[in-house]
Structure 1
Amino acid sequence: MRARSLVILDKSVAAMVAAIEIYNKPVFMYREETFAVLAINAWELLLKAKWLKDNKNKLASLYVSDTGGAKQALSKSSPKSPRLRYKTNRAGNPMTHSLDHFVKSLVASKALDIEVERNLLALTEVRDNSIHFYNDNPSLAERLQELGTAAVKNFVIASQEWFSMNYADYNFHLMPLAFFNPVAAADAIVLTKEQRRVVSYIESMETNKESDRHYAVSVNVNLKFVRSTATHAMAVQLSNDPDAMPIQMTEEQITAKYPLDYAQVQNRCRQRYSDFLTNDKFHLLRASVSKDPKYCRVRELDPGNPKTPKKPYFSEAIMTFFDQHYTKK
């Protein structure tokens, strides 16, 4: 029988997959609202799975205790001590703690990053407005994608750190808004008081958008297709499908995607892990992903010169890979 935490983890991943699939549909009139509802649902289940894992899979660790009722309920076998009781819902089942409770508890124990808390607070505000009222503004849709992209990114990182999840068979990406309804005149749209409050609240959560952490409050999504005749432009195809549309990336974009050289990766590992050594284990691990474009790209120091030396550069994702093989401090 599988552990309860893993069963809930599966439900969590299913909810996030559903959120992404709905968001990426070509035509769906309730896109942002549905994504916010399902993404928050996925995160709440993920946090409950983590909580169960840390509490030996005891379901009672999720329940809200009813201290008032406990004072009046005495156990027959031990009449001097009250029997622990829990608050119940309309059906009479025990109520579980809220998303906010698990977020604050895990942040306090440093099991969860403060950036995730801010992201979920902002996304929850969008969810609440969707359920209890409505969101009806193109600029809010754009902000939702920034929050949603960060929520998906954070979800993948947390589930990998806590449960070593493998997402090789999933496409955990939100399609850029450029493929949907371009917000050409968003700056000219007048927001209502209610909409301004939502936007202001989201902005108040984004106090640290330039954080160097792996987690993020929101992620800016900027997609550009530029015809280039430059000889130094590097051709990149972001798909294994040979018929996929090719996308050109500039030197600056590649540097941003692969910012770490060998020495920087070593320094990151020394600072991040308590059991790290620059030994055969490290070299073998690094070599195992050196041909995976997700983690590494070999660049020419003098592009176009056939005799130029080459040097490997690594993406931030390589630290998530090393997290599976070393112990974090």
Structure 2
Amino acid sequence: MRSRSKELLDRATSAMVAAIEIYNKPGFPYRSESFAILAINGWELLLKAKWLADNRNRPASLYVFEARANADGRRSKKRYVKRTEAGNPFTHSLSHLAKKLVENARLDSQAWGNIQMLLELRDSAVHFYNQSPAFRVRLQEIGAACAKNFATAVHEWFDRELSEFELHLMPLAFVDLPANMDGFLLNAEEKNFLNFLDTMERPESDPDSPYSVTVNIELKFTRSKARDALATRITSDPNAPAVRLTEERIREKYPWDYAKLNAKCAERYADFKVNRKYHDIRKPLQADPRFGAIRFLDPDNTSGQKKPFFNPNILSEFDKYYTRKARSADQAALLG
């Protein structure tokens, strides 16, 4: 029999996949609202799955307890499970669980920041009728980070890969995102929402973190055959338009060089050494576009000098082979 946490994990993944599938549908008029609602549902189920996994799969760990009034009018010392109108137990909200997991160093603060944005987007979309292009632009940025954070958390918490589901929002679905927001008239609610998003984006956030509050995506289709363009495709159809990733974009996606990767591994693992084991693990990963890229001194000469660069997500793979260092005293105090 599957554990409750694994059941919730499956349902969380299904909710997120549904959110992305709906967002990527062409000509879907309720795209933004549907994505926000389903994505929030996916995160709530995922946080509950994590909470249960950390609490021996006890359903009561998710329940909200309350005191009741005694016959003499005083509040009872005993606490009872709070019930819904149907008599079912109330469970803790997404916000409550997220805050607790952040406090216990289980959930990354940038992931929580992204969830807060998504909650505001959902509430704005549900309670007001918003057609401003501003919401479509911001949803793309928030949603792309949401999908990446969700897949990262599932991998870190449950060691499950979600690559089979291709969890990414697609400007590739030709969503009509305007090039800029200048000149758009916004109502008071929309202005408040966009101001809130600006306050949530923290410039001091760790650039090496696998989690993001938002992700900026720029997609340009061109007939150019520039030498600094790395050809790639989003489909197996050879006649499909090519998406070109310039050298500048490569460095944004793969910010670590070999020395920086070694330093990060030494900082992260207690048993790390730069030896044959390390090289045997690293070399296949650097050939995987999810984790690495090779830059050549002369792009036209692939047999010439080259240098590897790495995406911080590669650490999730090294976690399988090396032992993480003990938590700091501050983290241990939070967990204790």
With the length of structure 1 as denominator, give the TM-score of the two structures: 0.89
Change (3 A) 1:301 1:47: same
Contact 1:164 1:324 (8 Å CA) reproduced: no
SS at 1:187 equivalent: coil
> Matched residues in 2 for 1:132 and 1:105: separation?
28
Verify the 8 A CA contact 1:178 1:223 in the aligned structure 2: no
Match of 2:279 in 1: 283
1:127 alignment counterpart: 122
Deviation readout 1:273-294 (Å, 9 max, x if unpaired): 2332223332221133243222
Q: Is the 8 A contact 1:69 1:85 kept in 2?
A: no
User: Number of matched residues?
Assistant: 321
Equivalent position amino acid for 2:274 in 1: T
Give CA deviations for 1:218-269 in whole Å, capped at 9, x if unaligned: 1111111233343454333344554443222222222222332222211111
User: Once the two structures are superposed, what CA deviation does each residue of 1:116-169 show, in whole Å capped at 9, x if it has no partner?
Assistant: 221111110111122333322111221111111111111111111000111231
Matches within 5 A, 1:120-269: 120-176=115-171, 179-183=174-178, 186-208=181-203, 211-212=206-207, 213-269=209-265
What residue in structure 2 maps to residue 31 of structure 1?
31
Question: Does the 8 A contact of 1:232 with 1:304 survive in 2?
Answer: no
User: Relative to structure 1, is the Cα distance of residues 262 and 240 closer, same or farther in structure 2, using a 3 angstrom cutoff?
Assistant: farther
Amino acid at match of 2:170: M
CA distance in 2, matches of 1:134, 1:154: 28
SS of 1:188 mapped into structure 2: coil
Q: What residue number does 1:300 align with? A: 296
Separation in structure 1 between the aligned mates of residue 224 and residue 154 of structure 2, nearest angstrom: 39
CA distance in 2, matches of 1:185, 1:318: 33
Distance 1:69 1:245, change over 3 A: farther
Between Structure 1 and Structure 2, the one with more strand by share is: 2
Relative to 1, partners in 2 of residues 1:96 and 1:32: Cα closer, same or farther, differing over 3 Å? same
SS at match of 2:231: strand
Bigger mean CA offset, 39-48 vs 314-323: 314-323
Residue deviations 1:87-128 (CA, integer Å, cap 9, x gap): 001110110001111011011011111112211111101111
Query: What is the identity, as a one-letter code, of the residue corresponding to 2:29?
Result: M
Cα contact 1:36–1:126 (8 A) shared by 2: yes
Q: Which residue of 2 aligns with 1:75?
A: none
Give the corresponding residue for 1:321: 317
SS state at 1:287 partner = helix
Matched-pair contact (CA < 8 Å) for 1:22–1:28: yes
Instruction: Give the distance between the partners of 1:318 and 1:138, measured in 2 at CA.
Output: 35
Unaligned runs of 5+ in 1: 73-80
Q: What is the TM-score of this pair, normalised by structure 2?
A: 0.87
CA RMSD of the aligned region, Å?
Answer: 2.4
